[in-house]
Amino acid sequence: MTTFPPLPTTIAGVDGRHWETYQPYYESLIAQPLAPDSSRTWLQNWSELTKLFHEISARIYIAKTQDTTDQDKQTAFLELVDNVFPKATVAEQTLKERLLAQELADPDLALILRAMRNEAELFREENVPLQTELQKLENEYDNITGRLQADWDGQQKNVSQLEALLEDKDRTVRERAWQVMCDLWLGSRAELNELYAKMVALRTQIAHNAGLPDYRAYAFREKNRFDYTPADCLTFHEAIEQVVVPAARRVLARKQAQLGLELLRPWDVKAEAGDAPALKPYEKQDDLVRHGQAIFAQIDAELSGYFNTMAAEELLDLDTRPGKALGGYCDYLPVSQRPFIFMNGVGTHGDVQTLFHEAGHAFHGFKSGPLPLVWHSDSPMEFNEVASMAMELLTAPYLTHDQGGFYTPAEAARARINHLEEWILFLPYMAVVDAFQHWVYTHPTEAQVAANCDATWGSLWDRFMPVADWTGYEAARVTGWHRKLHIFQVPFYYIEYGMAQVGALQVWRNSLQDPAGALAAYKQALALGGTKPLPEIYAAAGIEFRFDVPMLTELTRLMEQTIADLSAVA
């Protein structure tokens, strides 16, 4: 009888770029006898191997995003993609088929088996090299965008640093920064068009190989979307158009009036009216972390302890720098049972919100990571983003200096107004991003022509995004899809943000009525991981999984009323 060999007790020194690192463990699991009475031990061994594989992969990914100019780190990631992922994918399929053949009746495994059955049915060996090629193309997007930087008064600034200037009080500074960013993105237009055309073709071929009509159908199954359909997404878009777009018009019309402008231009959308200087909540990472620690201590001792652990163990990389990949994320290291937060902070309130957002993901990891099997911790993305977005709102009462925060009461009110206005504006933008991808992957031939993508993006922009005048910047307007990394790297992963925002607003609504009860329900839902279906996880958090006109109407009114109340303080 084959016994499962002992796994490494530490990640240090393990070379994860080679298949030989993992091969003996996969071969052992494939060779071991499997019966219903031994399946749980076998599954536990597979779970521990999966944790090892995920942590090594995550560490290699984190390293390459921390410095896109380091060739050794890029090579390590590409070797992982080339040498390990394809073989692991095939081995995982063999293990899934073996487990599914047992016809286990354990209710604790029901959701895990449902997901594995779906994944096994979707698998095609001929797609493995295509998926490897896609990962390389996705990495190329990081490389292209990571090197976007320009001279600004003698200093090199990347896109994140230039975007911070859009909050400057001086309109000429904002317009100049906007122009510089447009030039950077348009300078890569041809390269990004070519990259995306390759991606669309590969994804479409993957879907056809799996016997599905298009990549949209493939993506919905790949993401285990058992609780809603593409049609439900389109209905959500329509509700946003009916309820939230008019609210977005009110936000921007108010901003235009406050700024005293005849026309609101793209570089004005993030600007604040008045003589008060732009919010500058912190200088560097240490300052951001210190205030974060104080705020989390006000909210909850357990969550505060988690954040303090991350700070102490250097699991935070928060400041931007040249060569660092764009964006922000929280990755989970399942062997260490620790999250890692990556972001591009430049000292704005948006960075404060990003930290709170990613901390919500981190708290989710701390709460669900210790569940018995790695798949138990794998909660649906539509709730993962509730974990993060709710934390953006739950921290709002603690932004003032007397609570350990960043601001005077007037500044905190300004920050909260800006945040809620951004949320109102986000839902229409989310609809643009999601609807664009519905069109792309149901019209893949047309979408491989960049001009068609530009036209579709422009049409959706007209439908959902009100007021701002883009005259003279038409090329930047229609190529906005270049600037959304999800479109390139994680297709169809964006509707989750909209659904989660609706969920997070419900958590916040509940917290206004019962702060302790809302927080307890939130934490209870975090601890469930993926052990319950998506609607039940929402219910555990005290919220509903629905995105209709009545729900959006209630929550939009709450945001607008809160903005009005805060305006008296600001």
Share of the chain above pLDDT 70, in %: 100
Q: How many Å apart are CA 285 and CA 202, to the nearest integer?
A: 40
Q: What is the pLDDT of residue 490?
A: 95
Mean pLDDT calculated for residue range 38-53? 95
Evaluate whether residue 151 is within a structural domain: no
Residue 1 has pLDDT above 60, yes or no: no
Query: How many domains does the chain divide into?
Result: 1
Evaluate whether residue 315 is within a structural domain: no
Residue 10 has pLDDT above 90, yes or no: no
Q: What is the pLDDT of residue 9?
A: 81
Mean pLDDT calculated for residue range 483-500? 96
Top-confidence residue, 35 or 121: 121
Evaluate whether residue 38 is within a structural domain: yes
Ranking 4-8, 20-24, 545-549 by mean pLDDT, the lowest is 4-8
Of residues 205, 43, 74, the one with CA closest to residue 146: 74
Beta strands in 420-570 (DSSP E): none
Evaluate whether residue 37 is within a structural domain: yes
Evaluate whether residue 45 is within a structural domain: yes
Q: What is the pLDDT of residue 105?
A: 84
Start-end of H helices in 300-408: 301-312, 349-368, 381-394
Evaluate whether residue 219 is within a structural domain: no
Evaluate whether residue 43 is within a structural domain: yes
Strand order from edge to edge, sheet including 329-333:
316-319, 338-345, 329-333
Q: How confident is the model at residue 2 (pLDDT cuts 50, 70, 90)?
A: low
Q: Are 269 and 426 in contact (CB under 8 A)?
A: no
Q: What is the pLDDT of residue 311?
A: 98
Q: What is the pLDDT of residue 453?
A: 98
Q: How many Å apart are CA 49 and CA 92, to the nearest integer?
A: 11
Mean pLDDT of the chain: 95
Q: How many Å apart are CA 116 and CA 149, to the nearest integer?
A: 43
- Which strand (E) or helix (H) includes residue 528? helix 515-528
DSSP string, 383-433: HHHHHHHHHHHHTGGG-BGGGT-SB-HHHHHHHHHHHHHHHHHHHHHHHHH
Q: What is the pLDDT of residue 140?
A: 95
Q: How do residues 246-278 score in pLDDT, each as one tens digit?
A: 999 999 999 999 999 999 999 999 998 888 888
Q: How many Å apart are CA 327 and CA 344, to the nearest integer?
A: 6
Q: How do residues 292-337 score in pLDDT, each as one tens digit?
A: 999 999 999 999 999 999 999 999 999 999 999 988 999 999 999 9
- Give the rounded distance of the alpha carbon of 289 from its chain centre: 21
Full domain range(s) for residue 83: 19-123
Q: Are 405 and 412 in contact (CB under 8 A)?
A: yes
Q: What is the pLDDT of residue 277?
A: 86
Mean pLDDT calculated for residue range 498-518? 97
What pTM was estimated for this model as a whole?
0.93
Top-confidence residue, 22 or 13: 22
Evaluate whether residue 256 is within a structural domain: no
Share of the chain above pLDDT 90, in %: 91
Q: How do residues 188-222 score in pLDDT, each as one tens digit?
A: 999 999 999 999 999 999 999 999 999 999 999 99
